[in-house]
Chain A
Amino acid sequence: MHIPDGFLSPQTFLPAAALAVPAWMYAVRRVAAQLDEQTIPRLAVLTALAFVLTTVMIPLPGGTSGHLLGVGLLALAFGIWPAFLAYSLVLLLQALLFGAGGITSLPVNALIMGLLGAALAVGLHGLLRRWHAATAQVVAVWLSVLLSATAMALVLGAQPLLATDDAGRPLFFPFTAAVTVPAIVLPHLLIGLGEGLLTWMILRMAGPRRSGAMP
């Protein structure tokens, strides 16, 4: 779901970077404060886990598939800040090693998917778990994916309004929210549900064996 390089205007990615940098610094402090000398290897392994989780395919009806975002799972298992930090590192490695995503879009991708996605998953799960634990996991992850996708669609859809040439033609991503919202959000209704179900299955299977959570 992440936005590639070249689709976002400087009017978007520069303020996003100004927000993301303090968020990353705070996340580093939070994660370092929770841990001792094991911070480095654990964060490294968590980053690798976040990276590889994005390669786990979500089966969809009709024989198609999407891929796991993994932020909801990481956030429910390890907390908001480790999930945000690990996912940001994943985006950085993907951009620099594989040319996927991008450096200019990194702050927006990290804030929307890493921070907003993780915070929504944990927040919604906290609200819903008294009602029914398993359903809370599915619904929290589903809604976090859906709302992150909506935010992503709105940011992309804002580009033709933020940056145009003298003739009014878009300088960056050319579609408005009228196109991006249905194009991005509708498929994520199903992908998010698949991710919610998969997250619940993984946490249910892993739950009895995991005596102590990582960070």
Chain B
Amino acid sequence: MSPRFWLAAYLLAVVAVSFLHEPLWLAIILLAVLLAAGRLAPRLLWRALLAVLLVNLMVSGGYVALSLWQGNPWALTVIRLNLRVLLLTVLTLWLAARIDLVRALSVGPASRFLAVVAINQILLMRRLVQDYRHAFRSRSVQPPRLRDHYRSAARQGVVLMDKAQAQAESLSQGMRSRGVFDDRP
């Protein structure tokens, strides 16, 4: 089946999961998704747990503390919320692992170019920011002051904006020279 079919099925599934409120059903579906994922299941579950852990711990912990203080029951709400969030995240990561997202999101050559170029540029720019951070650390003999941190962050922002403008121009020229825009009206 095509990537777009799986994307549509995923969108329907996430909306459907939002209408399910029984923790038992949410747990059964989570188990079914993990079984269907096969060998990917342990990695999917681990990545999903890592992705949701911090926020869900804060929200759940806060709610448990508040409920205990007010003398209200909390277990059902916390279990339901965490199961739902975990199920939705596992579904998303499973989709990302199973299909080519660029093909799934493409509604034509233009959107495919957009997705491919954006993802590649993200990887390039992330590397640039990491290089700047490492360079800032290696140059700082003493712990940097707040002002130094701001200057470094501002430099990163300027370099990113300059890089973005230069990359946009060179990409446009490269695509034009290869005839990408020739068949456009």
Please give me the residue from chain A that is nearest to B44 by CB atom: A99
Are A206 and B161 also in contact (CB < 8 A) when A5-B85, A41-B175, A99-B92 are?
Answer: yes
Q: Is A175's CB under 8 angstroms from B172's CB?
A: no
Distance (whole angstroms) from the CB of A72 to the closest CB of chain B:
12
Q: Is A56's CB under 8 angstroms from B157's CB?
A: yes
Q: Measured between alpha carbons, how far is A47 from B100 in the docked complex, in Å?
A: 19
- Chain B residues within 8 Å of chain A by Cβ, number: 72
Please give me the residue from chain A that is nearest to B72 by CB atom: A169
Q: Measured between alpha carbons, how far is A13 from B120 in the docked complex, in Å?
A: 30
Residues of B within 8 A of A174 (CB): 59, 63, 77, 81
Residues of A within 8 A of B153 (CB): 56-59, 68, 198, 201
Q: Is A21 engaged at the interface, CB distance under 8 Å to the other chain?
A: no
Q: Measured between alpha carbons, how far is A45 from B80 in the docked complex, in Å?
A: 40
Q: Measured between alpha carbons, how far is A201 from B167 in the docked complex, in Å?
A: 22
What 1/0 mask marks residues of chain B from 146 to 168 whose CB sits below 8 Å from any chain A CB? 10011101111110111011011
Q: Is A20 engaged at the interface, CB distance under 8 Å to the other chain?
A: no
Q: Is B172's CB under 8 angstroms from A37's CB?
A: yes
Q: Is B137 engaged at the interface, CB distance under 8 Å to the other chain?
A: no
What 1/0 mask marks residues of chain A from 71 to 111 whose CB sits below 8 Å from any chain B CB? 00100010000000000010011011111101110000000
Residues of B within 8 A of A169 (CB): 73, 76-77
Distance (whole angstroms) from the CB of B46 to the closest CB of chain A:
11
Residues of B within 8 A of A202 (CB): 154, 157-158, 161
Q: Is A52 engaged at the interface, CB distance under 8 Å to the other chain?
A: yes
The interface size bin for chain A is 35 or more
Residues of A within 8 A of B80 (CB): 171
Are A100 and B125 also in contact (CB < 8 A) when A37-B172, A45-B117 are?
Answer: no
Residues of A within 8 A of B167 (CB): 41, 45
Q: Is B21 engaged at the interface, CB distance under 8 Å to the other chain?
A: yes
What 1/0 mask marks residues of chain A from 180 to 215 whose CB sits below 8 Å from any chain B CB? 000000000000000001100110011001100010
CB interface residues, B 73-114, toward A, < 8 Å = 73, 76-77, 80-81, 84-85, 87-89, 92-93, 95-96, 101, 105, 110, 113-114
Q: Measured between alpha carbons, how far is A104 from B16 in the docked complex, in Å?
A: 11
Q: Is A52's CB under 8 angstroms from B77's CB?
A: no
Q: Measured between alpha carbons, how far is A45 from B170 in the docked complex, in Å?
A: 11
Q: Is A100's CB under 8 angstroms from B164's CB?
A: no
Please give me the residue from chain A that is nearest to B152 by CB atom: A59
What 1/0 mask marks residues of chain B from 15 to 56 whose CB sits below 8 Å from any chain A CB? 100110100000000000000000000000001100110010
- 7 A-B residue pairs with CB within 8 Å: A41-B113, A48-B164, A59-B146, A99-B51, A103-B11, A175-B66, A206-B162
Closest 10 CB pairs of A and B: A48-B121, A59-B149, A6-B85, A44-B117, A201-B154, A41-B171, A202-B157, A52-B125, A5-B88, A49-B164
With A103-B11, A179-B62, A206-B161 given, name 16 new contacts (CB 8 A): A5-B88, A10-B19, A37-B184, A41-B113, A41-B172, A44-B114, A45-B121, A45-B168, A48-B164, A49-B121, A68-B153, A102-B88, A102-B89, A171-B80, A175-B66, A206-B162
